[in-house]
Amino acid sequence: MSLTAQRLGQIREVMAQQNLDAFVLSTFDEYLNEYVPERNKRLQWLTGFTGSAGAAVILRDSAAMFVDGRYTVQVRQQVDAEQFAYHHLIEEPYAQWLSEQLSAGQRVGLDSRMFNLDTYETLETTLSKRDIALVPLNEHPVDAVWQDRPEESIRTGMVLPETYTGVSSAEKRQQIAQQLSTQNVDAALIFAPDSVAWLLNIRGHDIPATPVILGYALLTSDGSVTWFTNPEKLPEGFYEHVGTGVTVVNEADAAAHLAAFNGRRVLADPKTANAWAQLTLKEQGAELVAGNDPVLIPKACKNPTEQEGMRQAHIRDGVAEVKFLCWLDRSVASGAELNEAALADQLYRFRAEQDKFQEVSFDTISAAGSNAAMCHYNHMNGTPAELPEHGVYLVDSGGQYLDGTTDITRTVAIGEPDAEIREQFTRVLKGYIALETARFPHGTTGTQLDILARQYLWQEGYDFDHGTGHGVGAFLSVHEGPQRISKALNPIALQPGMVVSNEPGFYKADAYGIRCENLIMVKEAQNLPGNVPMLEFEVLTLAPFDLRLVDEKLLTDGEIQWLNAYHQRVYDTLVDRLDESERPWLEQATRSL
């Protein structure tokens, strides 16, 4: 019996004890984080799937795995096909699938802490139409059988001074509290750990690559905060740092404190807060007011101090990236044997040399040859591949610095890539340039701009199955909402100070993958002849695109001018920060077309 089959058997024993006909679990933990501590990787423990988005549905005699387009290749490599059927998370929602598999009177269990309220209510509504009951569980079945589950890591957090934040915690709390008064609510559930970190000007070490302390908070309309977390993690000088009006309560005691909001109006975001917290508030007599997390927009719109911090972090990160690309070219030319793990480790060492570096902002995607066709590939999930003799190497990586967060993807020529690769790379790069150079009026959303990055692929019958851009925090989450650039409808308008990625790609299964990614920041456009105020993007990322992969015949004069100007800026900004042996490489890598 395989390990997966054995663990499924244990889960089904728990299901039988609880009289469940199905059980649903996802990659999320209690805080709905994309990245979770080892002890919270429940779906990975059960299935072997290491992606950041997915769900499994366990029935008494079968099971199914649901992933989105980023993981359709990866799921087949990691999840036992004898135990799980594969389904597309978006095209075949598991709520609908479950309703078709079960009969009236049957019971579906889940841990309501691991799902947002929207998902919970959608599942409950869909199942109830077939008279199928949704049962919230008091204990997660995986926790009941995971014998060697890692212990919670207790690491003290850190306070972040105003030299990096620009605004004190007290000022932020009053700003948000005024919004609550305007909305006629008594309190707001601030659930996402990065929202709490921004509000209190603190950072932590509870999640790899995301500097937060796990927990959630209630902010009242007078600006006071109750933070539900582990008090052992409070940094020294915490109370002096945040000022008066902040109370810390052990998370285990949260339910009793939520009862104090009986009869009060509490704003909660059905998409970012877990179902358990909102259902508990409702059960205790609070009136839930559905609305966006009030911290999201202020956090996303970086203030001048945060903007400048992001710029400086990207300069240092650009130095690390250029040192790595130079080292990579020379290593390949020397005939050195390099695998994906060695490459990722070397890039980490260059970043670690930079001032204010704390950690990576996500696991480096170091993908050689056909592995690059999996857009969220992780070389640590198997045997790291060697570089191909001819083809491409894709490296998507980032760093967490005290003053900013970075995320960059470069696709690098290895040997002599063929004409097809060069053509597709150039189409991806054209899409990148089209989006980066866009000007657009206030009120424009990322959804409206998304087509700019895809147009040159669409014209030839190609596409990529992931978003074009995600928001990025300032020494916070590398995937920050609510702004994003995607085909999927997103009503949030892009605003000055928001940072998003620009990362179109092309992926040919079992062959190669291409992605071009920089971070860009929204700013007011200046000196335009028209009378309609416009926004545009400022490029933060500084590193050359591989000109060996560019088919110049496919570029317009304007695109060539943009590329030459960008490369000149990269050269001028970074050259004096490199050693003498690296400067000639940068000069060649940023040469004019």
Given a contact cutoff of 8 angstroms between Cβ atoms, the answer to whether 132 and 104 are in contact is yes
Determine the average pLDDT of the residues in 386-396: 96
- Give domain 158-295's CATH superfamily: Creatinase/prolidase N-terminal domain (3.40.350.10)
What does pTM read for this prediction?
0.92
Q: How far apart are CA 266 and CA 321, in angstroms?
A: 46
Q: How far apart are CA 349 and CA 321, in angstroms?
A: 11
Given a contact cutoff of 8 angstroms between Cβ atoms, the answer to whether 590 and 583 are in contact is no
Burial string for 506-531 (b: 16+ CB within 10 Å, else e) reads bbeeeebbbbbbbbbbbeeeeeeeee
Q: Between the CA of residue 418 and those of 161, 280, 332, 442, 515, what are the distances in Å?
A: 51, 59, 18, 42, 17
Task: Write the burial class of residue 489 (CB in 10 Å: 0-12 exposed, 13-18 middle, 19+ buried).
Answer: exposed
158-295 and 301-589 have identical folds: no
**Confidence tier at 549 by pLDDT (50, 70, 90):** very high
Given a contact cutoff of 8 angstroms between Cβ atoms, the answer to whether 484 and 469 are in contact is yes
Q: Count the neighbouring beta carbons within 10 Å of the beta carbon of residue 192.
A: 25
Task: Write the burial class of residue 251 (CB in 10 Å: 0-12 exposed, 13-18 middle, 19+ buried).
Answer: middle
Paired tokens of 539: 């490029």
One-letter amino acid at 171 equals E
List the chain domain ranges.
3-145, 158-295, 301-589
Q: How far apart are CA 43 and CA 209, in angstroms?
A: 20
Phi, psi (5° rounding) for residue 48? 90, -5
pLDDT, tens digit, 9 for 90 and up, residues 25-68: 999 999 998 888 999 999 999 999 998 889 999 999 999 999 98
Closest CA to 413 of 404, 421, 403: 421
Question: Is pLDDT above 90 for 375?
Answer: no
H/E element holding 249? strand 246-250
Q: How far apart are CA 488 and CA 204, in angstroms?
A: 32
Closest CA to 340 of 308, 279, 388: 388
> How much is the pLDDT for 355?
98
Scan for tokens 């997915």, then name that residue: 54
Q: How far apart are CA 125 and CA 108, in angstroms?
A: 12
Q: What number does CATH give the domain 3-145?
A: 3.40.350.10
Phi, psi (5° rounding) for residue 433? -65, -40
Task: Write the burial class of residue 171 (CB in 10 Å: 0-12 exposed, 13-18 middle, 19+ buried).
Answer: middle
> How much is the pLDDT for 74?
85
Given a contact cutoff of 8 angstroms between Cβ atoms, the answer to whether 468 and 429 are in contact is no
> How much is the pLDDT for 30?
93
Residues 182/183/188/190 CA torsion (nearest 10 deg) = -80
Question: Is pLDDT above 80 for 389?
Answer: yes
Q: What number does CATH give the domain 301-589?
A: 3.90.230.10
DSSP 8-state code for residue 245? S
Mean model confidence pLDDT for the chain: 96
Phi, psi (5° rounding) for residue 583? -65, -40
pLDDT, tens digit, 9 for 90 and up, residues 239-248: 999 999 999 9
Q: Determine what percent of the chain is predicted with pLDDT higher than 70.
A: 100
